[in-house]
A and B are shown apart, each in its own frame.
Chain A
Amino acid sequence: MIDGRSRVIVQGITGHQGRFHAQAMRAFGTRVVAGVTPGKGGETVDGVPVYESVREAASSQGVDVSVVFVPAPWAKDSALEALEAGVPLVVIVTEGMPVHDAMTVIQFARVMNARVIGPNCPGVTVPGAAKVGIMPNGIFREGNTAVVSRSGTLTYEVVNSLTEAGMGQSICLGIGGDPVIGTSFVDALGLFEADERTSEIVLIGEIGGTAEEEAASYISAKTKKPVVAYIAGRTAPPGRKMGHAGAIISQGRGSARSKAEALRAAGVRVAERPSEIARLLTDVRRR
């Protein structure tokens, strides 16, 4: 998906978030080649050249990945611009993007044969190589566990606990907490299965929707690598949105219990609490 050679542009680099994270990504080792902010072409942000459009940035620098920090009302336009310019991977960090906008962007990505991660996601990190998004730099360690999650801070918590337990990561992918997202658990599981550096998988789900159930049926059919999971929201009151727009138990569906059951039936070890994940991973490694 990404490596140390990937050329990354930051859409919205002149904003507070964009600037901060562009620097953090560079500190991690990511090749941030350009920023894009309409109206600010020709400027530089901490030495990174800013372009008027993605097309300009692409023709001057070449672009493999775009990461979108543009505020929600304009995020759709920015993501479509990147896709139109032929960027094959667009990571949308923006929180609060209207769901109809997400739908449009993701459908257009299909037309352009591109991948969207997010919206409302922390991005993707390959420890030792590159980071695209907002995950904190200090929590990773190189290794063989792939982590995929709908959450942000909970992922950091889990990754940090893996690192403290001496278990490194091959990739950490935050797919985002919105109801309509570009890359699903199933997509991630497919990528991890094919990734030579990954030997086991951690899946962090939460209440709402049926993504974990779909992951469970995919795992029982296609995934040979061991999977450990945790589902947040066992005690969430039904009918209330739990911070993430996608985290809601509606019409009696999408509860943590049904997700955990589906995953267990697919042979996944399901942790009761985040701190248990490292221990379960040690167990599956021994087998």
Chain B
Amino acid sequence: MLLEDRGKELFREHGIDVPGGRRYSDPEELRSASLPLVLKALVPVGGRGKAGGVSKVTTSEDAVREAIRILSLEISGYRPQGLLAEEVLSIEREMYLSIVIDRSLGIPVLLAGAVGGVEVESLPPDVMGRWPIHPFLGVGEHLVREVGRSLSLRHVEEFGKMLRGLWELFIRTDCELVEVNPLVLTTEGRLVAADSKVVVNDDAIFRHPEIGGDLPVMDVLEAEARRERMSFVRLDGDIGVIANGAGLTMATLDEVDSQGGTLGGFLDLGGTDDPRKIRKAFELMSRSGVSVILVNIFGGITRCDTVAEGVLGAMDSLEVVPFIVARIRGVNEELARSMLESRGIRAHLDLGSAVSDAVSWRSSA
């Protein structure tokens, strides 16, 4: 998800009206700003208002004090990367508008409702109208008329411009979601996108170099894993799981949980048999501070001895070696087992027994 100011820049480039505003990182700079203003934390997650990340200020003292407060917040794990200070809109009413890929239909849908500024998930489903938009067809005039009518908007031309702008942004920038919540009709009759939520498809970032650098990262180790095309999620328990493939990783986590273990994180290697990547995975996992590493590989094509080589290489290069339990199946599994066991690593064929070994590490380590 892009930060709000970047999302709004894209909105503006696509002809969508947004409130006047600018980004600040130093609270003192707000002392000379013209007032009143709305201050908003720049974080790549929703639920910001509830967490105290939005504030309306009318005096310079307020502005500086509130800016300091907001910048020190942590919102769903994210520190604000600055503040967006915007003009205060004179609101006639608030609405909701978004385009999102519908997984069941396999094409985008437009969602629009006469209720804005609240979390969409909290609304009953019939409050929101849904219109599929075929990617080969785009936004037709009838759609503008129909959605405009459902929102009781009189200025259909202006709304059409906004809708077509949103669609163009959605398609051109490979978005999974573009959301305007709230969409504000001001007392002067302006139609303004008061907030922006733009989620660009990770897999398409390569063709949007202008956006790649804007993506905020939550965690240094997770970002490092992503650069190697591995997926790493950090948690705060004991056992770090390294597995190949998303489904197998999840099944391993479920097994750890059902045997009473706590998860310190998990790393999906994807479809790799590169010993260097396996070494990297171990390095990231041990730097994350887990006590046990449970490696579960179903090597259909991956050769198990290559995986074992990676594991042993990692042991040699790590400063602190956590307790390692391995479960490796596939080609050359017996060879891999004896390679690992010769270095004191417990190697299993069965997932259940490997997990049980990992969960009881305190007594066996």
A residues neighboring B (CB under 8 Å): 20, 24, 72-73, 95-101, 103-104, 106-107, 134-136, 138-139, 149-157, 160, 177, 179-181, 204, 206-207, 209-211, 214, 230, 232-237, 240-247, 251-252, 256, 272-275
Indicate if B168 sits at the interface (CB-CB under 8 A).
no
Q: Indicate if the CB atoms of B246 and A177 lie closer than 8 Å.
A: yes
B203 touches A98 (CB 8 A): yes
> Could you jot down 10 A-B contacts, CB within 8 Å?
A95-B270, A150-B247, A179-B176, A204-B247, A209-B103, A233-B253, A235-B253, A237-B233, A243-B246, A273-B352
Could you say which of B19-27, B59-67, B254-262, B335-343 contacts chain A?
B254-262
Shortest beta-carbon distance from B76 to chain A in Å: 8
Enumerate chain B residues within 8 angstroms of A136, measured Cβ to Cβ.
300-301, 330-331
| Residue numbers in B under 8 Å from A275 (CB-CB) | 350-352
Q: Which residues of chain B from 275 to 317 have any CB-CB distance to chain A below 8 Å in the complex? A: 298, 300-301
In the A-B complex, the 9 residue pairs with the smallest Cβ-Cβ separation, listed nearest first, are: A151-B247, A136-B300, A243-B246, A154-B247, A153-B245, A243-B268, A98-B204, A232-B250, A244-B246
Provide the residues of chain B in CB contact with A20, threshold 8 Å.
301
User: What residues of chain B lie closer than 8 Å to A252, measured between beta carbons?
Assistant: 121
Of B108, B233, B247, B256, which one neighbours A240 at CB under 8 angstroms? B233
User: Would you call B134 and A107 a contact (CB within 8 A)?
Assistant: yes
Given contacts A177-B247, A232-B250, A273-B352, 8 further A-B contacts (CB under 8 A): A24-B301, A72-B206, A107-B106, A151-B245, A153-B247, A160-B298, A179-B103, A245-B202
The reply to whether B254 and A243 form a contact with Cβ atoms under 8 Å apart is no
* Chain A residues with CB below 8 A from B248, complex form: 151-154, 157, 232
Q: Collect the chain B residues with CB atoms within 8 Å of residue A240's CB.
A: 233
Size of B's binding interface in residues, CB under 8 A:
52
Q: Do residues B176 and A99 form an inter-chain contact, with CB atoms below 8 A?
A: yes
* Chain B 226-264: CB-based contact to A (< 8 A → 1; otherwise 0): 000101010100000001111111110111111000010
Across the two chains, which residue of chain A brings its CB closest to B222?
Answer: A240
How far, in angstroms, from A177 to B249 measured CA to CA in the complex? 13
**A242 and B249: CB pair below 8 A?**
yes
**In chain B, residues 190-213, which have Cβ atoms closer than 8 Å to a Cβ of chain A?**
201-204, 206-207
The answer to whether A273 touches B249, judged by C-beta atoms less than 8 angstroms apart, is no
Query: B135–A153 contact, CB under 8 A?
Result: no
Contacting residue for B254 out of A96, A98, A153, A234, CB 8 A = A234
How far, in whole Å, are A235 and B257 apart by their CA atoms in the complex? 7
B204 touches A99 (CB 8 A): yes
- Pair A157/B251 contact, Cβ less than 8 Å: yes
Of the candidates A107, A149, A245, which one forms a contact with B203 in the assembled complex, judged by CB atoms under 8 Å apart?
A245
With A24-B301, A149-B247, A150-B247 already in contact, the answer to whether A234 and B257 are too (CB < 8 A) is: yes
Contact (Cβ within 8 A) B103 A210: yes
Known: A152-B271, A236-B253. A73 touches B206 (CB 8 A): yes
